[in-house]
């Protein structure tokens, strides 16, 4: 009786097992990395209809975030400024600059400028800007060093795990209210941050909001 299966097939189950394990591991690793906001969102930097530079306006000219994003303290939504807000300065400054043609046109015609959205939470997340900035959470935590960006890009993943980092340990992130809009501010050292943060948590009655209901309605 001849062999139906040649000798080398004896090793086949092991090889399949090993190969399968490697494949599985790479699939898991791939999904782990590539399917997360860490990869899919961070770095997103679309070209905007007007090449607005936060770097020039904030770091070089020293403007406050709230001059343009004036709804941030009272609304869930931090508004993109209207064209008329831009024109408040730009009817004096760089008033014939070709880069600002669209802004001037928009202000004159009433047609809005279609800014491309970068930061966005899913529809089932009810993020609220006002409650964060009024309670010692700075813009920089979620938006990165936007004051240094010439073109805005998505700096942080903004996934649920990202939110929970802070919601589980608010003391590591809270800062004095007057430094919320100072994107360059850092605590002197991590120990100081934790000590001050813990004081804020106590004095302001900050809760570690890990309930589903905090964000999902």
Partner 1 sequence: MSKTIPPACPEPESGPTYWRSLEQLAGTPEFREWAEREFPEGASELRDDWHRRDFMKLMSASFLLAGLGLTGCRRPVETIHPFAKQPEGYIHGVSKYFATAMPARSSAIPLLVKSHEGRPIKIEGNPEHPLNAALTDEAGHKHGGTNLFAQASILNLYDPDRARRFLFKGQNSSRARACDALAELAKKFTDAQGKGMCVLMERSSSPSRARLQQALTAKFPQARWFIYEPMDGALAGQAAAQAFGQAVRPLYRLDKARRILALDADFMAADDDSYLLIRGFAKGRRLRSADDDMNRLYVVESLMTVTGANADHRLRLPSSQVAPLAMFLTAQMIEAGGQKDTTPGAAEFVSALLEKSKGLPEVARTWAAACAEDLMANAGSVVVLAGERQPLEVHLLAHAMNFYLGRQAGAVSYVADVTPPAGTIVELATALNAGEVETLVMLGGNPAYNAPADLDWPAAQRKAGTVIRLGYFEDETAPQCDWHLPLAHYLESWGDLRTADGTLVPVQPLIEPLFGGLTELEVLARLGGLPVTRPYDIARETFKLAVGDAEFEEKWKRYLHDGFLAGTAAPAVQVEIDWPAITPAVLGLAVPEVPTAQRLEVAFARAYSVDDGRYANNGWLQELPDPVSKITWDNVIALSQKTAQELGVVVVDRNRMDLSVPVLRIAVGNRTIEGPAWIQPGMADGVVGVTLGYGRPRAGRIGRGVGYDAYPIRTSTGMGFASGARLEITNRKFPLSCTQNHWTMQGRPVIREANLEEFRKDPGFANAMNLHEPPGPRGPDGQPKPAYPNPLDTAKLEATHWWGMSVDLNGCVGCSACVIACQSENNIPIVGKEQVNRGREMHWMRIDRYFAGSVAEPQVVNQPMLCQHCEAAPCESVCPVNATVHDNEGLNVMAYNRCVGTRYCSNNCPYKVRRFNFFDYNRRPITELYKSPLVSFTDGEWELKRWFKDRDRGSRPQDEWDLVKLAKNPDVTVRMRGVMEKCTFCLQRIEGAKIAQKIKAGASADVAVPDGTFKTACQQACPADAIVFGNLRDETSRVSKATASQRTYKVLEFLQTKPRVTYQARVRNPNPKMPDYHAQPLTTREYLDAGGTLGHHGDGHAAGYGHDAKGETKGAH
**For binding to partner 1 (CB under 8 A), which residues are involved?**
40-41, 43-47, 49, 70-71, 73-77, 79-85, 106-107, 109-117, 120, 123-124, 126, 128, 130-131, 134-136, 153, 177, 200, 203-205, 207, 211-214, 216-217
Closest CA to 165 of 210, 116, 196: 210
144 three-state secondary structure: coil
State the nearest-atom distance from the C-beta of 49 to partner 1, in Å: 5
State the nearest-atom distance from the C-beta of 66 to partner 1, in Å: 12
Please, which residue, 18 or 131, has the CB nearer to partner 1?
131
Please, which residue, 20 or 204, has the CB nearer to partner 1?
204
d(CA 61, CA 69): 16
Sequence-distant (≥ 6) Cβ neighbours of residue 155 within 8 angstroms: 42, 143, 144, 145, 146
Please, which residue, 32 or 34, has the CB nearer to partner 1?
34
| Token code pair at residue 48 | 């905007």
State the nearest-atom distance from the C-beta of 72 to partner 1, in Å: 10
d(CA 73, CA 129): 7
Closest CA to 62 of 151, 182, 144: 182
State the nearest-atom distance from the C-beta of 127 to partner 1, in Å: 11
């Amino acid at each position: 009786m001849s062999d139906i299966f040649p000798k080398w097939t004896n090793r086949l189950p092991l090889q399949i097992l090993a190969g399968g394990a490697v494949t599985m591991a790479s699939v898991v690793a791939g999904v782990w990395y590539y399917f997360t906001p860490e990869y899919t969102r961070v770095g997103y930097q679309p070209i905007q209809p007007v090449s607005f530079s936060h770097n020039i306006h904030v770091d070089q000219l020293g403007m406050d975030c709230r001059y343009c994003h004036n709804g941030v303290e009272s609304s869930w939504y931090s508004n993109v400024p209207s064209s008329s807000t831009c024109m408040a300065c730009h009817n004096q400054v760089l008033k014939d600059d070709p880069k600002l043609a669209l802004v001037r046109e928009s202000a004159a015609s009433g047609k809005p400028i279609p800014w491309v959205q970068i930061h966005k939470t899913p529809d089932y997340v009810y993020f609220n800007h006002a409650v964060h900035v009024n309670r010692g959470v700075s813009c920089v935590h979620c938006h990165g060093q936007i004051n240094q960006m010439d073109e805005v890009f998505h700096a942080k993943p903004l996934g649920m795990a990202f939110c929970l980092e802070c919601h589980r340990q608010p003391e590591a992130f809270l800062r004095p209210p007057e430094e919320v809009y100072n994107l360059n501010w850092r605590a002197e050292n991590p120990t100081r941050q934790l000590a001050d943060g813990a004081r804020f948590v106590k004095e302001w009655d900050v809760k570690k909001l890990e309930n589903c209901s905090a964000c999902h309605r």
